[in-house]
Amino acid sequence: LTELEALMERMKRLQEDKEDEEASQEEMATRFEKEKKESLLVISGGICTFPVPFSFDDEIVSTDVSRYIEDPGFGYKDFARRGEDHLPTFRAQDYTWENHGFSLVNRLYSDIGHLLDEKFRMVYNLTYNTMATHEDVDTTTLRRALFNYVHCMYGIRYDDYDYGEVNQLLERSLKVYIKTVTCYPERTTKRMYDSYWRQFKHSEKVRIS
């Protein structure tokens, strides 16, 4: 199977498994903890420690972004130290955009909640329903895995999501790319971008970003 066909086959299998049998809450919690710990290993200070078939260290360009920001020390920090057994977790259901965030930002800045809500919905639902040369593809499973993986890197968990899907759908080079773009955007290189989903169109890969 090509990379694309293998990914589509995994998506189809996940849909079928979901219809046949649902994982228990305990299993889903365990899978989240495993994914959360692995996400800490993907990139550390610009060095890829996750077992990928190549290293991006030599390609990382040292960029002075301090002139663009007021606090040069501001940046992504892993939410837990390596080796800790109980990493802090924030349950998304405890504080949601719909129930809390929307009304809070509207109080701080009139109507900004509506504008942000429109952008969030647009980005979350953004799809051409294509995967490379294949049309009329339901990409919901893949888009949700990407969405939840980004939140997982910040220790945010959705109780109704099975994080086992993340490892099945997101290849290692894509995880490296996602974490770099999300946490260290100035270190992103073209080699990282080229390393995943080689059969996909540029427009599809840009939507990932």
In this prediction, residue 58 carries a pLDDT of 40
Q: Which two tokens stand for residue 103?
A: 């009304």
Q: Which two tokens stand for residue 158?
A: 């959705």
- Prediction pTM value: 0.79
- Tokens 């540029």 locate to 202
Reported in sequence order, the residue ranges of the chain that DSSP labels E, i.e. its strands, are 90-91, 130-131, 134-135, 156-157
- Across residues 141-159, what is the average pLDDT? 92
Q: What rounded mean pLDDT belongs to the chain?
A: 83
- Across residues 199-206, what is the average pLDDT? 91
CB-based contacts of 134, cutoff 8 Å, min separation 6: 4, 8
Q: Is 142 exposed, middle or buried (0-12, 13-18, 19+ CB in 10 A)?
A: buried
In this prediction, residue 1 carries a pLDDT of 63
- Using the 8-state DSSP alphabet, how is residue 93 labeled? G
> Whole-angstrom Cα distance, residue 143 to residue 146?
5
* 49 has a pLDDT exceeding 90: no
* 190 has a pLDDT exceeding 60: yes
- Across residues 107-132, what is the average pLDDT? 92
For residue 141, the one-letter residue type is: T
Q: Please state which of the ranges 50-64, 123-137, 170-184 shows the lowest mean pLDDT.
A: 50-64
Q: Please state which of the ranges 51-55, 111-115, 124-128 shows the lowest mean pLDDT.
A: 51-55
